[in-house]
Amino acid sequence: MRSPLLRTAALLALMTWSSVTLADTPARVGRVSLVQGPVTIDSEDSDGPADALVNWPVTSENIITTERNARTEIRIGSTAVRLDGDSSLEVVELDDNTLHLQLHHGSANIRIRNPEVLDGFSLETPQGRVRMREAGSFRVDTGRDQDITVVDVFEGTALVDGGGSSLSVRAGRRVEIDRGDLVTALAVRTGFDDWSRMRDMQDERVVSYRYVTREMTGYEDLDRYGSWSDSSEYGPLWRPRALPTGWAPYRDGRWTWVAPWGWTWVDNAPWGYAPFHYGRWVMVNQRWCWAPGRNIGRPVWAPALVGWVGGGGW
């Protein structure tokens, strides 16, 4: 049986989400997908920085900060944003069409796979702005003294604005924005870039995109922790592996308030983002399975979708 607390929380989440959908909240929300070392996340409506946890939702006005020797990764659909140690990044705006980032200090490695998101993407530093003309990857460095910004482009072509000028930077080149001057040179890879590239290579082996769009945040972890099958009733089904006896959805995690949606579920499982914010859980042959529904290009995110089907005693 579900506990009264769980039942009440689930009902409140659904009621809250039903009310805020009328306000046309964004359908695109990011996720903390990896945390290595001390990392915090802050927002305007919080009481201060909190420890960043895997699966924590990321949206507009969030600030993610890493301590020295820490790293983190943020996913927004197929786009990956990675921070090296001693870095601070603000998500200025994130909605269906816009991803506007601001790097206050440190190093950020960005990977954009989908050309459709290029028009809405920009990353600012105290010295300038970076946009992408083609899908690809680049790194931006800016120091705490905020005198110089360095942009290294590894794939694709970037458009760098600084000092009243704009410069197109192709793969294999770098540009330094130094007191308004744009100085070009060969791109330089760091250990942080090699680590980011290894993460990208893992994505290239993912097969879950055959069942869900790459713009479904969290899709990249489904291969590693479960398997796919087809159902005549529900369509594609994903079943997590190695579940403890008696496992059920929405039991191992927490409810937290995320504006403007309200009460939002944060699951503890490393794979527990996509299956709790898209689609629904169903009981098939006495096993819990996740049914993502029809594969559409831009899935709609929800703070929680608590709909139990078939489970006796639920």
pLDDT digits (tens, 9 = 90+) for 234-292: 999 999 998 999 999 999 999 999 999 999 999 999 999 999 999 999 999 999 999 99
Q: CA nearest 254: which of 241, 264, 243, 262?
A: 264
Higher model confidence: residue 7 or residue 104?
A: 104
Q: CA nearest 304: which of 266, 268, 270?
A: 266
Going by pLDDT thresholds of 50, 70 and 90, the confidence category of residue 20 is very low
Q: What is the mean pLDDT of residues 73-99?
A: 98
- What domains are defined for the chain? 27-204 (2.60.120.1440)
What's the pLDDT score for residue 48? 87
Q: What is the mean pLDDT of residues 158-186?
A: 94
Return the amino acid letter for 140. Answer: V
Q: What is the mean pLDDT of residues 211-224?
A: 97
What's the pLDDT score for residue 79? 98
Going by pLDDT thresholds of 50, 70 and 90, the confidence category of residue 78 is very high
Q: What is the mean pLDDT of residues 93-102?
A: 98
Measured between its terminal Cα atoms, the distance across the chain in Å is 6
The β-bridge relationship of strands 99-112 and 121-124 is parallel
Query: Cα–Cα distance between 143 and 271 in angstroms, integer?
Result: 34
Inform me whether the pLDDT recorded for 15 exceeds 60.
no
Inform me whether the pLDDT recorded for 19 exceeds 50.
no
Query: Cα–Cα distance between 304 and 266 in angstroms, integer?
Result: 9
Percentage of the chain beyond pLDDT 90 is 82
Return the amino acid letter for 193. Answer: D
What's the pLDDT score for residue 233? 95
Query: Cα–Cα distance between 55 and 45 in angstroms, integer?
Result: 19
What's the pLDDT score for residue 3? 46
Going by pLDDT thresholds of 50, 70 and 90, the confidence category of residue 107 is very high
What's the pLDDT score for residue 256? 93
Going by pLDDT thresholds of 50, 70 and 90, the confidence category of residue 186 is very high
pTM exceeding the 0.85 threshold for the entire prediction: yes
Residues near 83 by beta carbon (within 8 Å), at least 6 away in sequence: 39, 64, 66, 71, 72, 73, 74, 89, 106, 107, 108
User: Omega of the bond prior to 260 within 30 degrees of 0, cis?
Assistant: yes
Inform me whether the pLDDT recorded for 227 exceeds 90.
yes
